[in-house]
Amino acid sequence: MKIGIVGLGLIGGSLGLDFRTLGHEVWGVARRATTCEAAIACGAVDVASTELQSLRSVDVVFLCTPIHMIAAIAADLIPHLTPTTVLTDVGSVKGAIVDALSPLWPNFVGGHPMAGKSAVGIAVAEPQLFAHRAYVITPTDQTSPAAVALLTDLAHSLHAHVFTCSPAEHDRAVAWISHLPVMVSGSLIQACLREPEAAVRQLAQQFASSGFRDTSRVGGGHPELGVMMARYNRDEVLRSLQGYQQALQHITTLIEQEDWAAIAEVLATNHAARPEFIRSTPAPDIAAS
Ligand code: NAP
């Protein structure tokens, strides 16, 4: 198959490495010529260009640019595509992208490979990034079944676990496990910074160890990522923050009331529930709706 990838960073580059290993011909498009050269040098693409029209004869295109560029790039790309080309994206938020792209191209289907790392760029692209990780496909009632089938097959070929759900279900679920943690973890750092006594703040910094490292990691990451989550998944992020505030208020009240038994019950529930959220391998392919 002839596969086009627009955006040759961590995700686009990693897809290219795997697709080439699987025997596909990969045509890449990047913004900068230096990225094109790096993608060819590391084996992520067969051919690379800064021109979208170079993808006029590919069978499928993966849009792998930052979220805020996806809709504009799709609009520029579409006039160059042949009618049978399947278009998909890898953006971490689905509702806004699916709403924008579905009316533009009948063979569009949204997707989100849920794999990544904190570093970005072609230099950190790696083979097998998506193996044994969730690949969420978010068709609507109007989505072409052939496009869904093609993306499902390609995701399976990466050894990813394919989940199918609506864009809205995707955005609500990732708000809980990805976007809310960034806001909560960031707020933890903010709260610590607001300790009024400088000497205590300094002691806290000196005492901080693995617990603080774990709980502050996602909140202390790249600012652009958190802004993207808040901006493009605003309603679900706000909804999850409200749920979090209720949970926080509940535990605050229990502590004020010195209801140690009730606190133990809450913590026991958490202890039992956590493994369900952090299985290293997702459950086998599931259609959530
Ligand atoms: P990245 O490593 O920064 O790569 C983005 C790439 O897009 C860069 O190569 C950049 O080119 C290119 N680009 C930017 N504007 C462009 C344009 N106008 N035309 C062509 N190429 C352009 O980012 P990433 O982590 O791969 O993320 C890409 C997408 O994957 C995002 O939509 C994100 O939501 C999604 N995603 C990310 C992760 C993750 O953990 N990182 C996980 C799942 C999904 P230059 O190199 O020339 O600047």
pLDDT in tens, 58-117: 999 999 999 999 999 999 999 999 999 999 999 999 999 999 999 999 999 999 999 988
User: How many CB atoms are located within 10 Å of the residue 230 CB?
Assistant: 15
Please list the residue range(s) of the chain that carry CATH number 3.40.50.720: 2-165
Beta bridge partners of 47: 27
Indicate the top mutation candidate among 6, 10, 55, 68 to test ligand 1's pocket, ranked by most ligand atoms within 8 A of CB. 10
Asked whether the beta carbons of 52 and 6 are under 8 A apart, the reply is yes
Picking from 63, 29, 64, the residue whose alpha carbon sits closest to that of residue 46 is 29
CATH class for the domain made up of 170-277 = mainly alpha
The encoded tokens of residue 225 equal: 């990522």
Q: What is the pLDDT of residues 146-171, one digit of tens each?
A: 999 999 999 999 999 999 999 999 99
pLDDT at 288: 44
Please list the residue range(s) of the chain that carry CATH number 1.10.3660.10: 170-277
Asked whether the beta carbons of 86 and 60 are under 8 A apart, the reply is yes
The encoded tokens of residue 41 equal: 């040098």
HEC string for 226-249: HHHHHHHCHHHHHHHHHHHHHHHH
**224 Cβ closer than 6 Å to some ligand 1 atom:** no
Architecture in CATH of 2-165: 3-Layer(aba) Sandwich (3.40)
Ligand 1: centre distance to CA 189 (Å)? 27
**10 Cβ closer than 6 Å to some ligand 1 atom:** yes
Beta bridge partners of 161: 134
pLDDT at 222: 85
pLDDT at 275: 95
Identify the segments of the chain with pLDDT beneath 70.
280-289
Query: Atom 33 (ligand 1): residue with closest C-alpha?
Result: 91
Ligand 1: centre distance to CA 65 (Å)? 4
The encoded tokens of residue 20 equal: 């080439």
Which parts of the chain fold into alpha helices (H)? 10-21, 33-41, 67-77, 95-101, 145-157, 167-174, 180-193, 198-207, 210-216, 223-232, 234-256, 260-277
Tell me which DSSP letter residue 282 carries: P
**101 Cβ closer than 6 Å to some ligand 1 atom:** no
Asked whether the beta carbons of 26 and 1 are under 8 A apart, the reply is no
Which residues lie below 8 Å from residue 21, measured CB to CB, with a gap of 6+?
Answer: 127
Ligand 1: centre distance to CA 128 (Å)? 18
pLDDT at 289: 39
